[in-house]
Amino acid sequence: MSDEFDYETYDDLSSLCVGHEVPEFKMETYEPSTGSFGEIDLGELKKAGKWTILVFYPADFTFVCPTELADLADQDAKLTELGAKVIGVSTDTKFSHLAWCQSEKLMENVKYTLAADTNGVVSSMFGVYDDATGLSLRGTFIISPEGKLVSATVNFYNVGRNMEELTRVIEANVHCAANPAEACPAKWKPGEKTLTPNEGMVGNVYEALNG
């Protein structure tokens, strides 16, 4: 198995949550952009200063999944510009990823990495592995270049995601990383007003945003 996880240094998988350091892992991959197999390594992505985006989905050759991954493909260029590495992840093999990309028309614009978490180790790490089915729930996770989990959302099987919101969340995280004293309000987009929390702002957020 190519999936690697150090159980000795991270005993409680259920405790991985936003704000925690993410243990390093590796997974085999299919690279649609080149038609080749490879490997993804969180340690290498951290060294490269990348934001890592893991988009878990239940399975290849299913129904909602290709609509989500096609939507993610529409955001991929922008996410890459923001310094992010996009990785779709399921418990399928890399061979299944290849065959799916070749047969499903909705997958024709997918160029980002598809990872094979065949033993469910990485899915379990993030709490999206379903023991009853052997599949992953629809989890979206953002890992900072320093290796910290900064965002986590999970949907059940029957509800697809809006990947435009993923881009907005990455934009906000990139801004806050560059401006640590600031915070981004609801629906914030680049160029809009941020908040710089202080004692004078307590009870006066409206004035801070509209002043």
pTM: 0.91
User: Quick one: pLDDT at residue 211?
Assistant: 84
Judge contact between 140 and 60, C-beta under 8 A: no
Tens digit of each residue's pLDDT (9 = 90 or more) over 132-184: 999 999 999 999 999 999 999 999 999 999 999 999 999 999 999 999 999 99
Domains identified in the chain and CATH numbers: 13-178 (3.40.30.10), 181-211 (no CATH)
- Locate the DSSP E strands across the chain: 26-31, 36-41, 51-56, 84-90, 113-116, 129-130, 135-136, 138-143, 149-155
What does the alpha-carbon distance between residue 115 and residue 54 come to, in Å, rounded to a whole number? 9
- Residue 16 has what pLDDT? 81
28 DSSP β-pair partners: 39, 116
Place of tokens 């307590």: 202
State residue 15's pLDDT score: 59
Instruction: Provide the annotated active-site residues.
Output: 65
Angle, CA of 74, 79 and 85, to the nearest 5°:
110
pLDDT for position 8: 43
pLDDT less than 70: residues of the chain: 1-15
